[in-house]
């Protein structure tokens, strides 16, 4: 037939094509031309006669032999009315494992092929059944390969016929390249459409009861397979937009419609409206007009909103509730003639949206189509519901994050003044020795609380993508030094030691010094926290290929194997029951992990089990390695730039001492001198980074000390801060002239002091 003996050629490859290479399928399909061709004259009398004869034939038919006769008659009539070279009826059958088309009857040139078969997917009829629509092909051999017998097809026009709404075969006509080279037009399509109805009846007559039952089963199976395929696509689609598109694709394919839309129900003061979230095939006017549909809109979806039930309008021009409305005019102007809208209902019966399909010509969807659409709508509603719940969860998660951030901020705010106030009290009115412990408790506990709140703030910043790290190329040893200094007070308190083993090379990493120090401080702190008092911790650094591995090992309570995988989870705290709770929020390790990841590294934990200690390994990329002498120290990495050295020069013994204490608490390395001369000597020996100089002092006043310091090569770059009772502008100017960098007025504001020190640190 048209597909007679045509076997599907290999899929064409892209790129250059040899003259014989098959064309892609789309290149031989020319269905859209049908409407553009001039119509041939109709012979209505001949047509009427032929149809009446067919009808009579059918009325008297019974049994398979009769159906054979009818089918022969049908193809003869088709050949004649369409003035084709060949006409035939192909029926889909299962042959073993394969689906084939059987040529039940062929009239004209290929009549001898009657009874033969061709594989479904090797046949042009396969395309027709697949699309469930008429198809016109021009010289199909260009795609399918040459025909036996040397025939060359000019055109073939095919139309599906149905059983139980499913396409089960085709009626087709062919014109050959020879003689008059007939071109088919929409008149032929109209004829074929009428004749296909006879084909469908003839098909039914060929079926036995068993076959009918079997075909129904097959139809149902095919439907469930289609739904199955659609639902697995829908379920795996996580992107909301793509999910909507897939729903529309599925609706269009199930309903054989030209357009489709998906709307979501939104509650409002007047009861609710439908919001358009995806559409297919609409005019811009329609999109703008129906972006939001309420119960006054005279569309099928507006009717769904009013009634809560499905609305089908097979011909909009005959639809009563739309009659004379602007909505109808918009439909028609956009080329839409039929529509249906199906409500999307939640399991509890709540309206969630509407699913509409539209056709360009009058169309009544079949029961089967609507049944399938209902199943799709059920799934769509469930999935939309799930997406909505997920969205709500995400929203509540976001709010929680925001709440945590606000909480941390609010907690942080009073902590700084408390700490400042206690330290300030010490500066201006040192407490009696017997009250000292109370002061220390306040400072220690407030500092602890501040650290916890800071961690909480950081985690919430990371979760909201607000934490920024400022990377620079930095010696890893320097970072570790800062971490050690931060944890030193805690280790001292617990009488623990930390041994450090560095490799014989300077390892440069690209890192935010503060944040990376925070990582190691957290790990060292944990190691100390979960080890007995007086225990030891080892910190080893080793180069490993392009990376460096930093291990923090302790001999403490260890970690159960079951707990290891979750140890870096937020708020995760695992504690063997026999271990006293050391406090903590379970955010330290989360912070460690996130910060290490932000530095392009990884962190892992291991433990031989409870009581056998733990080891945390941080792996980081190294940007440069420079050899240096090996270095193993205990408890400290020696002095370095990580800790600022500050010299306090003040003849007021108590003031100087409390200032020294305050700065030590704040993590600085501090010395004290009692007058100007002593101050000069201490500066030469201690080489501080910053000097806090009182101005009014015996022997040598602050201005003079500053001037002399500035003359020394080692004093040139020291940061000099004047701390005086004189705060007039002229005093400040005098200080600047003497070589001071900053000027602070007594009583010193702790915040101002730390800011000045931070600036001093940053400028060095």
Interface positions with ligand ADP (CB under 6 A): 526-527, 530, 554, 556-557, 559, 567, 572-575, 584-590, 614
For residue 452, what are the CA distances in angstroms to 138, 318, 449, 486, 649?
A: 77, 72, 5, 14, 34
Residue 155 and residue 142: Cα distance in Å, rounded?
12
CB of residue 602 to ligand ADP, shortest distance in Å: 16
State in angstroms the smallest separation of the CB of 653 from ligand ADP. Answer: 41
- Closest CB to ligand ADP among 567 and 690? 567
449 vs 456: CA distance, rounded Å:
11
**Residue of this chain nearest to ligand ADP (CB atom):** 584
Q: Considering the complex, what minimum distance in angstroms separates the CB of residue 431 from ligand ADP? A: 31
**What angle separates helix 240-255 from helix 209-236, to the nearest 10 degrees?**
160
Find the shortest distance in angstroms from Cβ 618 to ligand ADP: 13
- Return phi, psi of residue 37, to 5°: -85, 150
Distance CA 544, CA 370 (A): 65
> Which residue lies nearer to ligand ADP by CB, 287 or 608?
608
Shortest separation between residue 670's beta carbon and ligand ADP, angstroms: 30
Q: Three-state SS for 63?
A: helix
Phi, psi of 137, deg, nearest 5? -125, 145
Bridge partners (DSSP) of residue 351 are 345
Q: Which of 37, 10, 35 is nearest to 25 (CA)?
A: 10
| Closer of 589 and 649 to ligand ADP (Cβ) | 589
- Toward ligand ADP, which CB reaches closer, 5 or 584? 584
Q: Strand ranges (DSSP E) for 383-495? A: 472-475
Least distance (Å) from ligand ADP to the CB of residue 512? 20
Minimum distance between the CB of residue 636 and ligand ADP, rounded to whole angstroms?
A: 21
Q: Which is nearer to ligand ADP, 135 or 557 (CB)?
A: 557
Nearer to ligand ADP, 433 or 583 (CB): 583
Q: Which of 5/586 has CB closer to ligand ADP?
A: 586
CA distance 8 to 617: 61
Q: To the nearest whole angstrom, how small is the minimum distance from the Cβ of residue 582 to ligand ADP?
A: 7
Min dist CB 680 to ligand ADP, Å, is 46
User: CA-CA distance, 669 to 639, in Å (whole number)?
Assistant: 9
Beta bridge partners of 552: 539, 616
How far apart are alpha carbons 1 and 32 in whole angstroms? 23
Q: Which is nearer to ligand ADP, 166 or 594 (CB)?
A: 594
For the chain, the C-alpha Rg in angstroms (whole number) is 43
What is the DSSP code string of 562-597? GGGGGTTSTT-----TTSPP----S-HHHHHHHHHH
Residues 680-685: contacts with CB within 8 Å, 24+ apart? 680/705, 680/708, 680/709, 682/647, 682/649, 683/647, 683/709, 683/715, 683/718, 684/712, 684/714
Closest CA to 158 of 181, 188, 182, 128: 128
Give the whole-angstrom CA distance, residue 3 versus residue 20. 19
Return the number of the residue (140 or 556) whose C-beta is nearest ligand ADP: 556
Gap between the Cα atoms of 39 and 386, Å rounded? 54
DSSP assigned state of 29: B
Shortest Cβ 579–ligand ADP spacing (Å): 8
Question: Which of 191/527 has CB closer to ligand ADP?
Answer: 527
DSSP string, 117-161: EEEGGGSHHHHHHHHTS-EEEESTHHHH-PPGGG--EEEEEEEEE
Cβ 219 to ligand ADP, closest distance in Å? Answer: 60
- Residue 48 vs 572, nearer CB to ligand ADP: 572
User: Residue 113 carries which DSSP code?
Assistant: G
Shortest distance, CB of residue 418 to ligand ADP, whole angstroms? Answer: 22
Q: Report DSSP letters for 701-741, one per residue.
A: -HHHHHHHHHHSTTTTT-EEEEEES--SHHHHHHHHHHT-S
Number of H-type helices and E-type strands within the chain: 21, 26
Query: Pairing between strand 645-649 and 669-673?
Result: parallel
Q: For 350, what's the count of Cα atoms within 13 Å in the CB-facing half-sphere?
A: 12
Whichever of 513 and 556 has its CB closer to ligand ADP, that residue is 556
Spatial distance between the Cα atoms of 223 and 221, rounded to a whole number of angstroms: 5
Nearer to ligand ADP among residue 369 and residue 554 (C-beta): 554
Q: How far apart are CB 494 and ligand ADP at their closest, in Å?
A: 13
CB of 223 to ligand ADP, least distance (A): 54
CB of 455 to ligand ADP, least distance (A): 8
> For ligand ADP, which is the closer residue by CB, 23 or 585?
585
CA distance 445 to 383: 51
| Residue closer to ligand ADP (CB basis): 479 or 587 | 587
């Amino acid at each position: 037939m048209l597909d007679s003996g045509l076997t599907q050629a290999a899929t064409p490859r892209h790129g250059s094509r040899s003259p014989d290479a098959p064309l892609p399928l789309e290149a031989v399909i020319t269905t859209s031309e049908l409407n553009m061709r001039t119509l041939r004259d109709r012979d209505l009398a001949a047509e009427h006669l032929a149809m009446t004869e067919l009808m009579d034939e059918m009325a008297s038919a019974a049994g398979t032999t009769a159906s054979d006769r009818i089918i022969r008659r049908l193809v003869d009539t088709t050949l004649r009315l369409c003035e084709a070279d060949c006409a035939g009826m192909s029926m889909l059958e299962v042959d073993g494992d394969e689906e084939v088309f059987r040529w039940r009857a062929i009239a004209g040139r290929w009549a001898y092929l009657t009874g033969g078969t061709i594989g479904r997917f090797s046949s042009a009829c396969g395309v027709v059944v697949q699309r469930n629509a008429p198809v016109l092909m021009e010289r199909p051999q260009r795609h399918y390969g040459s025909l036996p017998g040397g025939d060359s097809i000019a055109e073939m026009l095919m139309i599906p016929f149905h059983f139980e709404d499913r396409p089960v075969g085709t009626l087709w006509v062919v014109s050959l390249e020879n003689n008059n080279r007939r071109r088919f037009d929409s008149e032929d399509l109209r004829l074929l459409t009428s004749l296909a109805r006879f084909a469908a009846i003839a098909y039914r007559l060929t079926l036995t009861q068993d076959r009918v039952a079997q075909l129904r089963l097959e139809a149902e199976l095919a439907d469930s397979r289609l739904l199955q395929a659609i639902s697995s696509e829908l379920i795996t689609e996580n992107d909301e937009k793509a999910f909507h598109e897939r729903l529309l694709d599925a609706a269009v394919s199930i309903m054989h419609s030209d357009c489709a839309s998906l709307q979501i129900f939104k509650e409002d003061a007047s009861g609710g409206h439908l919001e358009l979230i995806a559409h297919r095939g609409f005019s811009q006017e329609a999109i703008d007009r129906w972006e939001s549909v309420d119960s006054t809109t005279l569309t099928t979806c507006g009717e769904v909103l009013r009634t809560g039930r499905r609305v089908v309008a097979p011909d909009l021009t005959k639809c009563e509730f739309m009659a004379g409305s602007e909505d109808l005019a918009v439909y028609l102007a956009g080329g839409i003639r039929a529509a249906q809208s199906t409500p999307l209902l939640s399991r509890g019966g709540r309206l969630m949206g509407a699913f509409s399909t539209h056709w360009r010509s009058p169309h009544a969807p079949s029961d089967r189509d609507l049944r399938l659409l209902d199943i799709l709508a059920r799934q769509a509603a469930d999935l939309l519901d799930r997406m909505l719940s997920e969205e709500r969860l995400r929203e509540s998660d976001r709010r929680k994050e925001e709440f945590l951030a606000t909480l941390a901020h609010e907690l942080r705010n009073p902590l700084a003044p408390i700490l400042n106030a206690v330290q300030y009290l010490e500066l201006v009115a040192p407490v009696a020795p017997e009250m000292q412990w109370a002061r220390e408790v306040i400072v220690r506990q407030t500092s602890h609380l501040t650290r916890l709140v800071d961690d909480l703030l950081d985690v919430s910043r990371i979760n909201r993508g607000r934490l920024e790290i400022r990377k620079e190329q930095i010696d890893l040893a320097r970072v570790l030094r800062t971490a050690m200094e931060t944890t030193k007070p805690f280790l001292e308190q617990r009488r623990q030691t930390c041994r450090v083993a560095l490799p014989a090379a300077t390892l440069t990493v690209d890192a935010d010094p503060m944040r990376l120090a925070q990582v190691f401080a957290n790990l060292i702190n944990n190691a100390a926290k979960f080890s007995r008092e007086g225990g030891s911790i080892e910190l080893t650094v080793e180069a490993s290929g392009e990376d460096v591995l930093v291990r923090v090992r302790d001999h403490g309570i260890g970690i159960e194997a079951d707990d290891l995988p979750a140890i870096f989870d937020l708020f995760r705290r695992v504690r063997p029951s026999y271990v006293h709770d050391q406090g903590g929020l379970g955010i330290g390790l989360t912070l460690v992990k996130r910060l290490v990841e932000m530095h392009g590294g990884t962190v892992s934990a291991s433990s031989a089990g409870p009581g056998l200690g733990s080891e945390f390994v941080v792996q980081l990329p190294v940007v440069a390695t420079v050899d240096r002498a090996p270095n193993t120290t205990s408890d400290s990495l020696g002095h370095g730039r990580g800790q600022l050295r500050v010299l306090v020069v003040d003849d007021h013994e108590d003031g100087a001492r409390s200032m020294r204490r305050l700065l030590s608490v704040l993590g600085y390395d501090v010395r004290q001198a009692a007058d100007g001369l002593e101050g000069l000597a201490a500066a030469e020996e201690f080489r501080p980074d910053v000097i806090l100089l009182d101005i009014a002092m015996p022997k040598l006043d602050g201005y003079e000390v500053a001037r002399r310091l500035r003359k020394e090569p080692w004093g040139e770059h020291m940061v000099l801060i004047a701390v005086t009772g004189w705060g007039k502008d002229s005093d400040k100017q005098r200080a600047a002239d003497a070589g001071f960098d900053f000027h602070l007025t007594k009583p010193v504001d702790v915040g101002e002091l730390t800011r000045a020190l931070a600036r001093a640190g940053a400028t060095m």
